[in-house]
């Protein structure tokens, strides 16, 4: 799964106003050729959207759950077919649950402490968040002492 994210690094983030709105966006995203889709839990009924997508999309589409704020929500997403979990911050309970299910966890990290805590919890990939605020200077500064 991480290999596909690396090879097809574009991820479409879906924040629908309703399940129908999200599904319409997803149909257009897939038609446009994007293979990595993250359905955020700000979308009403996100777990149903994920389940529908998991059941009807071809195997080349990787479905993730975003804006996951706790382990309970992560478990709901995983049980409905999410193949990776994204959160706006690092959460040790989510990391532990994802490790248990062998599902990649991509936490948003806004500090060196969050990044190192995530790495200690066996997180493979972190998302610098909020990227537009922290910017490339932050990424370059952190990459020196934490090259992985």
Q: Which CATH architecture best describes the domain 2-143?
A: Alpha-Beta Barrel (3.20)
pLDDT digits (tens, 9 = 90+) for 12-32: 999 999 999 999 999 999 999
Q: What residues contact residue 126 under an 8 Å CB cut-off, 6+ apart?
A: 90, 106, 107, 108, 109, 114, 115, 118, 119
The mean pLDDT value of the chain amounts to 92
Averaged pLDDT, 94-120: 95
Averaged pLDDT, 53-74: 95
Domain spans of the chain, in order of start: 2-143
Provide DSSP, the chain: -HHHHHHT--EEEE--SSHHHHHHHHHHHHHTT--EEEEETTSTTHHHHHHHHHHHS-TT-EEEEES--SHHHHHHHHHTT-SEEEESS--HHHHHHHHHHT--EEEEE-SHHHHHHHHHTT-S--EETTHHHHHHHHHHHHHTT---
Contact status, residue 107 vs residue 114, Cβ threshold 8 Å: yes
* pLDDT at residue 68, rounded to an integer: 99
**Comparison of pLDDT for 69 and 139, the residue scoring more:** 69
* pLDDT at residue 119, rounded to an integer: 93
**Comparison of pLDDT for 50 and 127, the residue scoring more:** 50
Q: Please give the positions annotated as active site.
A: 38, 127
Percent share of the chain, pLDDT over 90: 74
C-alpha to C-alpha distance for 115 and 6, rounded to whole angstroms: 19
Q: What residues contact residue 75 under an 8 Å CB cut-off, 6+ apart?
A: 97
Does the bond joining 130 to the residue before it have cis omega, within 30 degrees of 0?
A: yes
* pLDDT at residue 146, rounded to an integer: 85
């Amino acid at each position: 799964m991480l290999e596909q994210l690396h090879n097809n690094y574009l991820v479409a983030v879906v924040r629908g106003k309703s399940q129908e709105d999200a599904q319409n966006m997803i149909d257009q995203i897939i038609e446009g050729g994007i293979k990595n889709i993250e359905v955020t839990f700000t979308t009403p009924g996100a777990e149903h959207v994920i389940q529908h997508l998991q059941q009807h999309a071809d195997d080349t589409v990787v479905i993730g759950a975003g804006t996951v704020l706790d382990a309970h929500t992560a478990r709901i997403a995983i049980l409905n077919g999410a193949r990776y979990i994204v959160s706006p911050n690092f959460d040790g309970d989510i990391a532990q649950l994802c490790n248990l299910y062998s599902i990649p966890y991509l936490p948003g990290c806004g500090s060196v402490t969050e990044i190192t805590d995530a790495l200690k919890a066996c997180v493979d990939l972190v998302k610098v968040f909020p990227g537009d605020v922290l910017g490339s200077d932050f990424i370059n500064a952190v990459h020196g002492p934490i090259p992985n």
